[in-house]
């Protein structure tokens, strides 16, 4: 969508990285996409919303300025946003399982209705530390790239507090869930695991974490240039997986380098 817009317009901006993959972002920058941190300096043009989405407040500010929006928010993220708003409108305390500093989670927090309580927890230890008032109704949603195991652990920790009512929404992306399951199976068979993707990509890091728990010989690399020949000295099976934001051409270059 960004590439099509660049062919039609001159002033195209991306509010933050469109996806967390440096190679893609650099390629789009060469084609004219300007990455900005906020919209203060923009008077006209088009803003591309990243796959992680933006808060309704920011979207409103962009609209007020009369700037065109191209929304590339992931459908799974949009679903989580709708749930966050609906459930907080109904008076539930919202617990979000995820990374508080991630743009997707920051936007999710802003979708919770004003005045409603919202907590962001990264794991079960933080969930155990939460304190709820007697009679409060609790809802739990997840950052779309979380691991199912971590999400379930947090849910259990919250249910252990015996809330009056709890509503659980598994908002983890099906693709992320499937990639993690397949990566786990592959890590058990392969002598070496390569996880290809951006280091700032949450779903890529999650793939690395699940593989690393199974095999110490798991390495996260962004491009073929990071391949270490010493990893490939002995004859072994090399397992390869990649983050959702990693383009096929990056994976192909890694495979070609290994085959050499």
Tell me which of 38, 73, 108 is where a domain ends.
73
Structural domain of residue 252, as residue ranges? 174-259
Determine the Cα–Cα distance for residues 116 and 111; give it in Å rounded to an integer.
10
Nearest Cα residue to 11 out of 37, 33, 35, 36: 33
pLDDT at residue 150, rounded to an integer: 94
d(C-alpha 81, C-alpha 74), whole Å = 11
Q: What is the pTM of this model?
A: 0.84
The answer, yes or no, to whether residue 9 has pLDDT greater than 80, is no
pLDDT-derived band of residue 167, with 50, 70 and 90 as boundaries?
very high
> Are residues 114 and 190 located together in one domain of the fold?
no
Residues 33 and 67 in one domain: yes
pLDDT score, position 160: 95
Task: Write down the pLDDT at residue 178.
Answer: 92
**Distance of alpha carbon 11 from alpha carbon 179, whole angstroms:** 36
Final residue before a domain boundary, out of 58, 73, 88: 73
Percent of the chain with pLDDT over 90: 64
184-to-132, 199, 231 alpha-carbon distances in Å:
36, 19, 20
Q: pLDDT tens digits for 66-99? A: 889 999 999 999 999 999 999 999 999 999 999 9
Q: The domain that contains 232 carries what CATH number?
A: 3.40.1010.20
Q: Are residues 81 and 163 in the same domain?
A: yes
pLDDT at 19 over 90: no
Burial (CB count within 10 angstroms: exposed 0-12, middle 13-18, buried 19+), residue 162: exposed
Q: Are 34 and 13 in contact (CB under 8 A)?
A: yes
The pLDDT tens digits of the residues spanning 112-131 come to 988 899 999 999 999 999 99
> What pLDDT is stored for residue 172 in this prediction?
94
Instruction: Based on the fold, state whether residues 137 and 162 are members of the same structural domain.
Output: yes
pLDDT over threshold 80, residue 234: no
Number of domains in the chain: 3
Is residue 162 within 8 A of residue 176, CB to CB? The reply is: no
191-224 pLDDT, tens digit each? 999 999 999 888 899 999 999 999 999 999 999 9
- 235, pLDDT greater than 80: no
44 shares its domain with 107: no
Whether 105 and 150 share a structural domain: yes
For 172, half-sphere exposure in the C-beta direction (CA atoms, 13 angstrom radius) is 23
Residues designated catalytic: 104
Q: Are residues 64 and 38 in the same domain?
A: yes
In SS3 terms, 46-84 reads as EEEECCCCCCHHHHHHHHHCCCEEEECCCHHHHHHHHHH
Q: Are residues 105 and 157 in the same domain?
A: yes
CATH of the domain at 18: 3.40.50.11270
103 in the same domain as 47 = no
d(CA 170, CA 148): 8
Task: Tell whether the model's pLDDT for residue 54 goes beyond 80.
Answer: yes
Domain stop point among 140, 168, 196? 168
Q: What is the pLDDT of residue 39?
A: 84
Alpha carbon distance 40, 13 (integer Å): 12
């Amino acid at each position: 969508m960004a590439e099509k817009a660049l062919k039609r317009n001159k002033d195209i901006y991306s509010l933050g990285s469109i996806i967390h993959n440096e190679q893609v972002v650099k390629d789009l920058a060469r084609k004219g996409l300007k990455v900005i941190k906020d919209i203060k300096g923009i008077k006209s043009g088009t803003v591309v919303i990243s796959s992680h989405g933006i808060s309704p407040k920011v979207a409103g500010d962009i609209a007020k300025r009369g700037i065109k929006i191209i929304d590339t928010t992931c459908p799974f993220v949009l679903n989580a946003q709708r749930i966050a708003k609906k459930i907080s409108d109904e008076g539930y305390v919202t617990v979000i399982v995820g990374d508080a500093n991630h743009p997707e989670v920051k936007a999710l927090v802003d979708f919770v209705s004003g005045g409603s309580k919202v907590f962001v927890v990264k794991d079960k230890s933080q969930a155990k530390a939460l304190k709820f008032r007697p009679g409060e109704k609790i809802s739990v949603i997840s950052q779309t790239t979380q691991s199912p195991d971590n999400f379930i652990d947090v849910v259990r920790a919250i249910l252990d507090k015996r809330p009056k009512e709890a509503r659980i929404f598994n908002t983890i992306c099906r693709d992320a869930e499937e990639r993690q399951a397949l990566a786990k199976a592959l890590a058990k068979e392969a002598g070496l695991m390569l996880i290809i993707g951006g280091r700032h990509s949450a779903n890529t890091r999650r793939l690395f974490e699940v593989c690393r728990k199974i095999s110490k010989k798991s390495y996260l690399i962004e491009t073929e240039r990071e391949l270490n020949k010493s990893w490939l000295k002995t004859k072994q099976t090399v397992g390869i997986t990649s983050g959702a934001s990693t383009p096929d051409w990056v994976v192909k270059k890694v495979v070609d380098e290994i085959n050499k």
